[in-house]
Amino acid sequence: MALPSLLLPLLLLFQPAAVPPQTTPAPAAKPAKEILGWSASRPLTWADFKARPMGTDRLKALTSANIDVQVACKDFVFSSTVTAVFLPQESWVQDAGKASANLLRHEQLHFDITELHARLLRQKLSTVKLDCQHLNPAFNTLTKNYFTAWQREEARYDAESNHGLNQEKQLFWETQVKQRLALLESFASR
């Protein structure tokens, strides 16, 4: 179990004074995590799922995706960048050689739902006026609400489609998400 990164500096501050300084070289910096931005022209492949599968998990695959939100205030003007990202080192498939195309479509739709909610957030951020001097409370509340809605929809998708095993519901979800993405095309990342 890893400690949250914010706690590590605090733990270092409280080392006993009698501990001699380290003489071993510092570990090399970790390479940046690989991420894939959502793209209509570049669907996921099983090769993108690079994490080791959870051996005890009943799932056949897991998509790890996130909505990356970068904000800035320059000369008291708010700006933001919102990107739906897929995390290969946290996504896995039990056996890519035996995994079905239907399962990959199910996992792709998880990523598509992430993009849908990124577009909804982009749309909202384009319409609100955020005060750069008091940004945190308003921005945190806004993004928390959007992230909660995204997580709920992801859970509902898995429940209704039975993780893609209910083909009728899977097709329903694919159609709905595709239509909703099209309606929000003007908020697609460029």
Give tens-digit pLDDT for 136-165: 888 889 999 999 999 999 999 999 999 999
Tell me: pLDDT of 178 over 70: yes
- pLDDT band of residue 2 (cuts 50, 70, 90) is very low
Higher pLDDT, 7 or 73: 73
* pLDDT confidence of residue 189: 82
Number of Cβ atoms within 10 Å of the Cβ of 60: 19
Q: What does pTM read for this prediction?
A: 0.81
Residue 100, φ and ψ in degrees, nearest 5: -85, 160
The pLDDT mean for the chain works out to: 84
* pLDDT confidence of residue 21: 34
* pLDDT confidence of residue 56: 65
Number of Cβ atoms within 10 Å of the Cβ of 154: 17
Per domain, the residue ranges of the chain are: 33-187
For residues 45-49, average pLDDT: 97
- pLDDT band of residue 181 (cuts 50, 70, 90) is very high
Print the SS3 string covering the chain: CCCCCCHHHHHHHCCCCCCCCCCCCCCCCCCCCCCEECCCCCCCCHHHCCCCCCCCCCCCEECCEEEEEEEEEECCEEEEEEEEEECHHHCEECCCCCCCHHHHHHHHHHHHHHHHHHHHHHHHHHHCCCCHHHHHHHHHHHHHHHHHHHHHHHHHHHHHHCCCCCHHHHHHHHHHHHHHHHHCHHHCCC
For residues 54-62, average pLDDT: 81
Residue 138 and residue 78 in contact, taking contact as beta carbons nearer than 8 Å: no
- pLDDT tens-digit readout, 106-147: 999 999 999 999 999 999 999 988 888 878 888 889 999 999
**Angular region, 163: left φ>0, alpha ψ -120 to 50, beta rest:** left
**Angular region, 76: left φ>0, alpha ψ -120 to 50, beta rest:** left
Residue 120 and residue 189 in contact, taking contact as beta carbons nearer than 8 Å: no
* pLDDT confidence of residue 54: 75
